[in-house]
Amino acid sequence: MELVPVFLVTLLFSLGLVLALTFGKAPTYRPSREQIVALLESVLEGTARQSHWDLFIGMPIQHDEALETVRVQCVTLHEGLDGSDPAREGIDGYIYDRAGRERIASILDNLREVIEKSPVTREF
């Protein structure tokens, strides 16, 4: 008697799992250039969340070479991989101190130049 309800629950769960795996898609990190500009601006303003920043510098960006270059520059700043000291932690909600934010501002200016020079494309 208990076999029928257990079978039905298991069947529904299995069907739900099959549907989720069939029609779902794997989570990906594909930020746009505008999203990265907004993230860098929020780092400069002190409103960036640490989790968003950690995701950006920790996850390779494979769909846009310009964004990957920006990410590598930010990792270099964060870790001090270019022979300089790592960027220091800021105070009062800022991720980096003043010197680190100045380097972020130059990275942001370079990204804005790349965005202005890139051709406009439309996907059909």
What is residue 67's predicted lDDT score, i.e. its pLDDT? 94
What is residue 120's predicted lDDT score, i.e. its pLDDT? 74
Residue 122 has pLDDT above 70, yes or no: no
Residue 109 has pLDDT above 90, yes or no: yes
What is residue 1's predicted lDDT score, i.e. its pLDDT? 77
Using CA atoms in the order 45, 109, 72, 117, what is the torsion angle rounded to 10 degrees? 140
Residue 10 has pLDDT above 90, yes or no: yes
Residue 112 has pLDDT above 80, yes or no: yes
Q: Per-residue pLDDT averaged across 3-18, rounded?
A: 94
Give 14-53 pLDDT, tens digit per residue: 999 999 888 888 778 899 999 999 999 999 999 999 999 9
Give 55-96 pLDDT, tens digit per residue: 999 999 999 999 999 999 999 999 988 778 888 988 888 999
